[in-house]
Amino acid sequence: MLPERCPPMPTSATPAAVSPDHLAAWVAAAFGRAGLAAGDAAAAAEALVLADAFGVHTHGTKLLPGYLAKLRGGGYRAAARPRVAREGPGWAVIDGDAGLGQVGCRHGIDLAVAKARAVGIAYVGVTNTGHIGAAGGWAVRAARAGCFALVTGNDTPSVAAAGSRGAVLGSNPLAWAAPVPGGDPVFLDIATAAVAGGKVYAAVQRGEPIPPGWLVDDRGLATTDGSLYPDRASLAPMAGHKGFGIAMLAEWLSAILPGGAVTTQVGSWMFGPPGDPSRHNAGFVVIDVAAIAGPEAYAAAMARFAAEVRGAAPAEGTDRVRLPGDLEWERHRRAAVEGIPLPADVRSKLAEAAHMVGLEASP
């Protein structure tokens, strides 16, 4: 049973920073009110709070109201139990049972790590799940277990192809992470669009201009009018045809290979009917580093590589050169001590979530 009173969240009258543990407990309580079992609620909350701790607020707890709406509407099944539909020694396909994406992905990455430890390298595809959130969090989870991970996902089309008038593919995420003995994993998490759609929504909500290169209108021409998205504009592909090709790779690994919903078969978790499953998919390629590289040689190589990159002469106006993930880990360590600074748009979404599930605490 959930407690009648939940930890209060910060309001505009109190400091915006909140401890990660405090925020995770509150989010888990909200998920519990929507019917998730305690373990699933905690896992989903952990994933969202990690994104906030990294400073990636577009994929953190700001997503909570949308997820709650799908859970309450039945589009995401609160009682979903992901199951292995078919498998071999080094691969598997999981049916997410139309559950929350964070629940399906937790099962997927953990199974991929287990199989990689058994045979060296593994692939796991998760089909029929919900929006997967920040792909980098799943890659980091594997890296913390001593494995390299490549994570991909697909989404409903919102990104133009090079030369198209309208959306062709989703802003399909691609992330990877590698373990660093004695340190935090190196990791990269990117949308294969020029920018994640959530950043367009966030900029519009804050009244900020849209930078050139983010959007193309319904004529296929560049636009800075964020209000056109998504009805009359699409996201531009990252780096033109190069980003489009990488997005196709993400589609193939996450959906085509395991037999999941592809492109327009995937529904919008934000704008689709709350009672409809979104049928998102994810793909995980995991390598057990210890099975291939000698531990001492790997540690020495990573240390040398990291030192060379970080030791490169910084450009004028730049304090230092960072590895992928360095900035996020700096924010993560700061958040553990000072709390996570929640922007106003995130606090507003948490207040909306509190109202939706009847929590006394108001963000």
* 22 and 106 fall within a common domain: no
- Residue 355 scores a pLDDT above 60: yes
Tell me whether residue 109 is in a domain. yes
Band (pLDDT 50/70/90 cuts) for residue 138 is very high
The four Cα atoms 349, 25, 36, 170 give a dihedral, to 10 degrees, of 50
* 41 and 141 fall within a common domain: no
The pLDDT score that the predictor gives to residue 16 is 72
Ramachandran area for residue 163 (φ above 0: left; ψ -120 to 50: alpha; else beta): left
CATH of the domain at 170: 3.30.1370.60
Output the pTM of the full model.
Answer: 0.92
The pLDDT score that the predictor gives to residue 209 is 87
CATH of the domain at 357: 1.10.1530.10
* 273 and 178 fall within a common domain: yes
- 296-309 burial code (b ≥16 CB/10 A, e <16): eebbeebeeeeeee
Tell me whether residue 329 is in a domain. yes
The pLDDT score that the predictor gives to residue 322 is 97
* 241 and 139 fall within a common domain: yes
* 16 and 149 fall within a common domain: no
Tell me whether residue 101 is in a domain. yes
Q: What's the first-to-final CA gap in the chain, in angstroms?
A: 22
Tokens coding 319: 């304090």
* 33 and 162 fall within a common domain: no
Counted domains in the chain: 2
* 42 and 95 fall within a common domain: no
Q: Above pLDDT 90, what percent of the chain? A: 90
Tell me whether residue 316 is in a domain. no
Tokens coding 90: 């080094």
pLDDT tens track for 196-254: 887 898 889 888 889 999 999 999 999 999 999 999 999 999 999 999 999 999 999 99
Report whether 127 contacts 278 (CB < 8 A): no
Lay out the sheet containing 147-153: strands in order across: 83-88, 91-95, 121-129, 280-288, 147-153, 173-178, 186-191
* 63 and 186 fall within a common domain: no
pLDDT tens track for 293-332: 999 999 999 999 999 999 999 999 999 999 999 999 999 9
What phi and psi values does residue 184 have, to the nearest 5 degrees?
-80, 145
Tell me whether residue 281 is in a domain. yes
Range of the domain at 35: 1-73+325-363
* 142 and 39 fall within a common domain: no
* 333 and 269 fall within a common domain: no
The four Cα atoms 315, 317, 323, 324 give a dihedral, to 10 degrees, of -120
